[in-house]
Amino acid sequence: MSTTFPDGFLWGAATSAYQTEGSLTADGRGRSVWDDFTARPGAVEGGGDGSIACDSYRRWADDVQLVADLHLGAYRFSVGWSRVLPTGRGPVEQRGLDHYERLVDALLERGATPVVTLNHWDMPSELMRDGGWAGRSTVDAFGEYASAVADRLADRVTWWITQNEPWIVSLLGYQLGLHAPGVADLDAAFRAAHHVLLGHGRAADVLHAASGRAQVGAALSLFPCDPATDAPEDRAAAWGSDGYVNRWYLDALLGQGYPADMRAHWERALGHGVDDVVREGDEPAIAGRSDFVGVNYYTRRVVAAAPVGPDRAFPWRVVTATDDNPRSDEGWEIVPDALRDLLVRIEREYGVPSMVTENGGVFGDGPTHDGRVHDVRRTELLLGHLRAVHHAIGAGARVLGYLHWSLLDNFEWALGYRPRFGLVHVDYPTGRRTVKDSGLLYAEIARTGTLPDRLPAITPFG
């Protein structure tokens, strides 16, 4: 079977503002929740923060040149929310928008399609006065922000991501407190999960009104959930986990409303009705506004039944897979076939196109004696997942593109600078960029739209 992808398939890579930009006080930028979180002792492995990161706010032209050198037809980046609305509401900081306008124009001049994310977690700190995403007023603030960005960029940007990984925002930011804003409260997590989706609906309405050609979606962290055994209780646990991680967001966004089984799980865990938070008219305000689903896929969850208790809100737990699959340096199981099945599922169950908006792995390879980065394991991961995407397309899934995470090694949130996801190695003290072997191979795939039958010899540019 041919491994050539359809014409118009978007080949790209992704980054986010806080993870790469640095320059945290430049051009009127306000303080974000991640500025606050990284200032907490022990919150980030190694004590790092985003104050320099990849220095991409100043070196944006270098990054655009990398996109061009890698023959990428798309670049997903995020607008820093606190660069545009420094206090979350009120006056717009035009200097921040000037920066993103320059970036968009430079990409378009090189034939690369901008894929713009509005919220990649860097909420302005001032919005925490009303609870952040746990407070309903943040939905209005997000609408203001979307309007400010659309007013400047909607005439040139077609592809939009409203929210990045709503489940992770809820789980790590408001339930476990492991990400900014560092809240550990189940009720706040539930409210945040709902309000992030309401924010998607509000921003999607703004973007569609601003441009008739806008294509809008949310990027969801989707984890296929497999039962640990064939036992009925483990199968039920896997289905429940799927509701918690996947269906709660997919069903709401794509017009089916919040799933009844997960409503029941939440009501038992919270001790109050879902409709205490989900008001009349909310679900219609979320549904039917997604032109596509952004799929952030890294691994699967293997799930077993477990009793509810003080430290377990839901009757399941994630267990270590017994399959002999390879793993990344972060210990994540590498299962490309699960991505194929996920993309086919989205098409069959929801009837909507998808775009792989993130996929990648942590591998710590650095420059060797020849100055190159021979990241063979990332190259194998890349090829395996691209074959899975191709198989999904062959099975009828409308997959619009593949955006690798990440273009650059960068600040990996609470894990600091240790994990490296990039196609391009970044030497953090100097900012020097070195295209890894995986990036060199991906450049050829993006140029030709075709996968090699086997791992080829890789030569550097020039």
CA distance 116 to 123: 16
Kind and range of the H or E run holding 339: helix 336-350
CB 29 within 8 A of CB 171: no
* Catalytic annotation, pick one of 93, 126, 358, 412: 358
DSSP string, 296-328: E----EEEEE---BTTBSSSEEEE---S---B-
Task: Return the SS3 of 277.
Answer: coil
Strand partners, 319: 302
Size of the chain, expressed as the number of residues it contains = 462
Segment 444-447 long-range contacts (CB within 8 Å, at least 24 positions apart): 444/71, 445/11, 445/386, 446/11, 446/12, 446/70, 446/71, 446/72, 446/73, 447/71
| Among 313, 327, 337, residue whose Cα is nearest residue 361 | 327
Does the annotation mark 283 as catalytic? no
CA distance 439 to 1: 25
Q: Could you give phi then psi for residue 330, rounded to 5 degrees?
A: -90, 0
Does the annotation mark 358 as catalytic? yes
Asked if the bond preceding 41 is cis, omega within 30° of 0, the reply is no
* Catalytic annotation, pick one of 165, 283, 347, 412: 165
Q: Which residues are catalytic?
A: 165, 358
